[in-house]
C-alpha cells in the first residue's frame, strides 16, 4: 500500500473547493460508510461552513492546513496546522477562518 500525502491531497482539494459554489470539497482517505472507521479529508475555503449537525460517533479533526473554528453550543475551539480537536458528542459546526483542510476521523456508533 502506498502512503498518502495529506499535504498534496489537501492542496488538490482546496483547488476543487475554490471552484465549488459551496466552497467545500471532500475525499475519503480510508474506510467509508460500510466501515466502522472512516477518515475523510475536507477542504473549505475561507468563510465556508459545515452547518450545525449531529455527531455520527466518536470523532476527531486533525488540522492539515489553515485555521478552523469548531463550535458546539456556546463553546468553540480554534484549530491550526497540527492541532487535533476532539469533536463533542453534541450538535456542532465547523467554520473555515482561512482556506483550510482537516482530516475527519470517525468511528461510527454500533
Residue 13 in this model has a pLDDT that exceeds 70: yes
Q: Is the pLDDT of residue 35 over 90?
A: no
**pTM of the full structure:** 0.92
103 forms beta bridges with 41, 62
- Answer yes or no: is pLDDT of 109 > 80: no
Q: Which CATH architecture has domain 6-108?
A: Sandwich (2.60)
Contacts of 105 (CB under 8 A, 6+ apart): 37, 38, 39, 59, 60, 61, 62
* Contact assessment for residue 29 and residue 4, using Cβ atoms and an 8 Å cutoff: yes
- Of 8 and 57, more confident: 8
Could you give phi then psi for residue 3, rounded to 5 degrees? -65, 155
Planar angle of CA 77, 45, 65, nearest 5 degrees: 60
Q: Where are the domains of the chain?
A: 6-108
Amino acid at each position: 500500500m502506498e502512503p498518502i500525502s495529506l499535504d498534496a491531497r489537501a492542496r488538490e482539494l482546496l483547488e476543487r473547493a475554490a471552484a465549488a459554489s459551496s466552497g467545500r470539497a471532500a475525499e475519503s482517505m480510508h474506510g467509508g460508510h460500510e466501515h466502522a472507521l472512516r477518515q475523510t479529508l475536507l477542504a473549505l475555503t475561507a468563510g465556508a461552513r459545515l452547518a450545525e449537525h449531529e455527531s455520527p460517533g466518536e470523532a476527531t479533526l486533525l488540522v492539515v492546513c489553515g485555521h478552523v473554528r469548531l463550535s458546539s453550543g456556546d463553546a468553540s475551539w480554534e484549530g491550526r496546522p497540527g492541532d487535533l480537536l476532539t469533536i463533542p458528542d453534541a450538535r456542532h459546526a465547523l467554520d473555515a477562518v482561512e482556506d483550510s483542510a482537516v482530516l475527519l476521523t470517525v468511528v461510527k456508533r454500533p
